[in-house]
Amino acid sequence: PLVYLVLCFFCVCTLIPCVLIVITSLRTTQEIVKDGLFGNITTLHWENYIEAWKVGRFSTYFFNSVFVSFFSVIGVLLFSLLGAYALAKLEFKGKAIYKTLIVMGLVIPLEIIVIPLFYDMQSMHLMDTHWAIILPTIAMNVPFGTFLLSGFIKDIPSSLLESAKIDGSSEWKTLWYIVAPIIKPALISLLIFVFMWSWNAFMLPNIMVRSEEMRTLPLGLDFFRGKNTQNIPLIAAASNIISLPVIIIYLVFQRNLIKGMMVGAVKG
């Protein structure tokens, strides 16, 4: 069918750049210059990855990215779940204002708030720390997470939650033991999105971080690329090192991600 042919075409177009980067990372600069990118490959130079890891100090950058991404994801999931439950199932004064603030958080880009954000972090003495990246990342992604999860929570029958309360369940227990398991696919989808955004973030860490010890992987790659402009295989190897965790996270949670997207599509 034509649909499958179109899908295969776009799949090939997507995979070609990835394959080229992998091939480039396993060759030497001399081989690329002499034989071209698609020349005869006699030896796979896996040592490029080891050299890039050691020379580029990617162990330090890797730890920083893991630390920032982990706490960013935890913070966004926690506050988004609490906010979405309140927005979808609770009645309180100022709910309309709260919803308006959530929508405003979705439309305000980082470029508009980056200057006051810089001075806020500076006044709190958080500049050049992990938290100067983590706290703004949480704040900027909670509106999206709240808006996403609230749509799933609204579809949970109110009678189910009321039955739990009649049985003596508190709001907290209802949230953690009933609501959260039901919307697990949506939570995992949010986890993947936030992890990917925080892992690949460049602008915010570049503004908030000054020392080399605090650099995340995207900053480290940019610095590494500047020092090794002529060594294309090393740059390609470093790029693959950075992208590997995102690929692993996606492969681990892909079923839940697809399930969450399919549920969202049906809801739409």
Q: Give the model confidence (pLDDT) of 196-217 as tens digits.
A: 999 999 999 999 998 889 999 9
Cα angle, residue 37 at apex, residues 34 and 38 outer, rounded to 5°? 105
Q: Give the model confidence (pLDDT) of 59-117 as tens digits.
A: 899 999 999 999 999 999 999 999 999 998 888 888 889 889 888 888 888 888 999 99
Percent of the chain, pLDDT > 90?
34
Predicted TM-score (pTM) of the model is 0.85
- Residue 116 C-beta-side C-alpha neighbours within 13 Å: 4
Burial of 194 (0-12, 13-18, 19+ CB in 10 A): buried
Q: Rounded to an integer, what distance in angstroms lies between the CA atom of residue 144 and that of residue 152? A: 13
Query: How sure is the predictor about 263, in pLDDT bands with cuts at 50, 70 and 90?
Result: low
The pair of structure tokens assigned to 109 is: 């880009």
Q: Are 264 and 199 in contact (CB under 8 A)?
A: no
The pLDDT of 235-247, averaged and rounded, is 89
Length of the chain: 268
Burial of 211 (0-12, 13-18, 19+ CB in 10 A): exposed
pLDDT at residue 78 in the model: 95
Per-residue pLDDT for 162 more than 80?
Answer: yes
Please compute Rg for the chain using Cα positions: 23
CB neighbourhood size of 61 (10 A):
26
Q: Rounded to an integer, what distance in angstroms lies between the CA atom of residue 100 and that of residue 95? A: 9
Highest mean pLDDT among 19-33, 81-95, 127-141: 127-141
Q: Rounded to an integer, what distance in angstroms lies between the CA atom of residue 102 and that of residue 39? A: 54
What value does the mean pLDDT of the chain take? 87
Distance from chain centroid for Cα 85: 23
